[in-house]
Amino acid sequence: MPPDLTFAIALIVKMAITAGFVLAATITAERAGPLVGGLVATLPIGAGPVYVFLALDHDAHFIAQSAVASLAINAVNVIFALVYALLAQQRSLAVSLRGAFLVWLVLALVIHSVHWSFLAAAAMNIVGLSVCLWLARPLRHVRMPAFRARWYELAMRAVMVAILVGVTVTFSFQIGPGGSGILAVFPIVLISIMIILHRRVGGPPTAAVLANAITGLIGFAFAAMALHFAAEPFGAAIGLTLALATSIGWTFLVYGARKRGIPV
């Protein structure tokens, strides 16, 4: 089989697998309310498969450095979620999403232009998460009206995530670990939730999902840290497993705390 055809088939399979993971997770999120929705949306259901496929093509050092870029851009994703949540209280989907994405794009370009150390990326997450959690806290508790996503909305989400996987894996050699780490955590799942939910249930309930997602992104920050430190000494496979376990563990910890009335 020609190498180009082999690459194309493998890429299509990778895109399809990732889209399936995202669909299963986000359908669960939309039916379980803002808290579960926000937490599930920030699990590495998009970034995780991307990193697995990157690990098949690159060494552990590449993965560890990509994790630093992902940690840095995670702080931008936190701001992205907060800006949308604030705008969506009274603004339309178009205004809220465009405003939030413009902020994300400007900050992402700044992130990409800087060579980030682990300490600098971690410090930015601590500051960003502390401020955004405080601002988002009043927006988290809104009842989610019952609804069922239409098939074409789910198809749109699957296509968006599949394209992200295809672009990241295809151009990872050209854009390096920094660019790959940024693209791997592009907030495609959060954007798809905004597009689907805002039109169906309105701004404040959708904003509640994104406000809860900020808490979930703390877990993603811990996961990126685990991947950075574990990938090189133990191998990418163990590093990715530890990162996934960290993210899932944080999700269950937050869910259990909220159910007990602890304001995490």
Annotate 105-122 with DSSP letters as a single string.
HHHHHHHHTS---HHHHH
Helix axes 93-112, 188-201, angle to 10 degrees: 170
pLDDT given at position 9: 53
* Domain annotation covers residue 251: yes
pLDDT tens digits, 2-37: 445 444 555 565 566 656 655 665 566 566 667 777
Q: What angle do CA 234, 238, 244 make, to 5 degrees?
A: 140
Q: Report the pLDDT value the prediction gives residue 145, as an integer from 0 to 100.
A: 64
Q: Does residue 202 form part of some domain?
A: yes
Residue 79: count of CB within 10 angstroms of its CB: 18
Range of the domain at 130: 3-259
SS3 172: helix
Say what the pLDDT of residue 78 is: 96
- The pLDDT value recorded for residue 33 is 67
Q: In terms of pLDDT, which residue wins out, 68 or 160? A: 68
Domain count, the chain: 1
Predicted model pTM: 0.84
Each residue of 226-264: pLDDT tens digit?
Answer: 999 999 999 999 999 999 999 999 999 998 888 887 777
Does 154 map to a domain? yes
Q: Write down the pLDDT at residue 40.
A: 77
Question: Buried (b) or exposed (e) across 185-211, using 16+ Cβ within 10 A?
Answer: bbbbbbbbbbbbbbebbebbbbbbbbb
pLDDT digits (tens, 9 = 90+) for 74-98: 999 999 999 999 999 999 999 999 9
**Helical H segments across 202-235, by residue range:** 203-234
Question: Is the residue at 264 inside a domain?
Answer: no
Please spell the DSSP secondary structure of 50-63, one letter per residue: HHHHHHHHS-HHHH
